[in-house]
Amino acid sequence: MLTSFQRVFSQLKYLIEVVFGLIFPQKCLSCDNETTTKTKGVCFACKSKINWSKPFEKEINSQILQGVNLSNVKAAYSLFYFSKEGVEQALIHQLKYRGSWRTGLLLGEELGLSISDGESDTQLDCLIPIALFHRKQFDRGYNQAYYIAQGLSSITGAPVLQKLVQKCKQTQSQTKLSREKRRLNVKNTFLASEKFKKLKAIGLVDDVVTTGSTLREICKEIISVNESIEIIIFTIGVVRIE
């Protein structure tokens, strides 16, 4: 009986999606062409151009872990290698500068689905989106990392807690800074809640990682509150460092 109900419900859901798609056609977040109900925001053509991280898991994990360089950080996962002028940049641009928080949800879901079952033995207490300075979040209207975390949460089941880390002051964009200037730019800019004392393992969620300076600074603050906490890093894109 349960199987029959599930089959009917699945068929009904599919029909609703088809009808909704006819009335409100979905557009690819990268090329703006119409998509099908199965492509979830990005058309098949654009998906084929994305430099997915799956073949480079060990390389990406190593790059992020070396950038953060803290023993409490146990693993790192990413959805794709970020490339300028590519589909990856178009997606991040939609997320950060075009008001498309839905892109964050979709990318977070994709990241969750890309992580194989049993790949990590760590049971996460929660997911923590990287905090924005309050003025920047007001100007943008939302924190993009929060929606990535929500999408990831829908797959992993780990709850999202967004107020355990606060950014205390505005910093300049990290985009054109050297590694050393990035480190100095974010130094002493984050504050971690005392609530971390009660947590054993958390996931930190970011959009794009380059040198890992911001993640390292946040992790250091969290570890100063709880020296034994385990941290897993989740990010949508990683900039390849040659």
- 143-163 pLDDT, tens digit each: 899 999 999 999 999 999 988
**Kind plus residue range of the DSSP H or E element containing 127:** strand 126-129
Question: What is the predicted pLDDT for the residue at 141?
Answer: 80
Question: Where does the pLDDT of residue 31 fall: very low under 50, low under 70, confident under 90, or very high at 90 and above?
Answer: confident
- Mean pLDDT lowest among 26-30, 39-43, 47-51, 130-134: 39-43
Render pLDDT for 128-147 as a digit per residue (tens, 0 to 9).
998 877 777 777 788 899 99
Question: What is the pLDDT, as a whole number, of residue 17?
Answer: 47
Identify the weakest region by mean pLDDT among 32-46, 90-104, 114-128, 198-212: 32-46
pLDDT for 42? 79
